[in-house]
Amino acid sequence: MTVTEAVEARRSVRGFLDTPVDPALIRALVERAARAPSGGNLQPWHIDVVGGAALDGFKAELAAALAAGHKETPAYAIYPLALDDPYEARRRAIGEAMYGHIGIPREDRAGRRAWFARNFAFFGAPVGLFCTVERGMGPPQWSDLGMYLQTLMLLIVEAGLAACPQECWAIYPETVTRFLGTPAERMLFCGMAIGYEDTSEPANALRSERAPLEDWATFRFD
Ligand SMILES: Cc1cc2nc3c(=O)[nH]c(=O)nc-3n(C[C@H](O)[C@H](O)[C@H](O)COP(=O)(O)O)c2cc1C
């Protein structure tokens, strides 16, 4: 597989088979992804991978907390409070496209909420991954986390696996970091569901759009 093929093939997958993933494979991918660049070679990422009975226990704990209406202060604001267009329009468009694929209309708010809650079961994936970072790290280091995570997702694709990055976990930072035993000086950035794609899941048929190049890039060679 070429890099171009991996980049084209990667999508956020939101439905997984319960086929187990070889822990040695995940370990190798997590390690290899650290070839990602980082400013000053800080390598500011911290990664926790959870599977097996530990993941089952965590998911059960989360499900019980959700059912009880448990709420936490989010780790950070996932989006700016005032999200202007074109960003707000893009966010709305991907939401509508996704719920359109699954067939949950806008009026069915409970249905959409319930579907969103599948995030907290890692969409059925047998492996969950969390990325944390020292609280003192700033935007440049957070961008390093993105480089790491995209490198990992491309390696995941190359290995025949699929993934969904998940910032939704920032809504429950206390539960996640307590479970992981994360030291207080570190905060949660995001999670990631990893496993073999369930191709029968309608949500997985979604191919997200991208804004045209002219909207966000300029080129000058004069
Ligand atoms: C940092 C990050 C966090 C994300 N968090 C979530 C999430 O919590 N739940 C979810 O279903 N998708 C999540 N996504 C997936 C995005 O919705 C997705 O990347 C975007 O719509 C583009 O689609 P694609 O990944 O299929 O190309 C996240 C993506 C990124 C990069």
Residue 52, pLDDT above cutoff 90: yes
Task: Name the β-bridge partners of 126.
Answer: none
Instruction: Give distance in angstroms: CA of 163 to centre of ligand 1.
Output: 10
Percent of the chain with pLDDT over 70: 100
Check residue 197 and report its DSSP letter. Answer: B
Lookup: tokens for 191: 């999670």
**What pLDDT does 85 receive?**
95
Which residue has its alpha carbon closest to ligand 1 atom 16? 12
> Are 131 and 145 a contacting pair, CB within 8 Å?
yes
Record: fold of 3-79+120-206: NADH Oxidase (3.40.109)
Location of structure tokens 């990664």: 47
- Provide the 8-state DSSP code for 135: T
List pLDDT tens digits, range 92-149.
999 999 998 899 998 999 999 999 999 999 999 999 999 999 999 999 999 999 999 9
* Residue 131 beta carbon below 6 angstroms from any ligand 1 atom: no
Domain parsing of the chain, residue ranges: 3-79+120-206
Does 14 sit in the ligand 1 pocket, CB within 6 Å?
yes
Ligand 1 atom closest to 146 (CA): 1
**What is the spatial distance between Cα 204 and Cα 193, in angstroms, rounded to a whole number?**
13
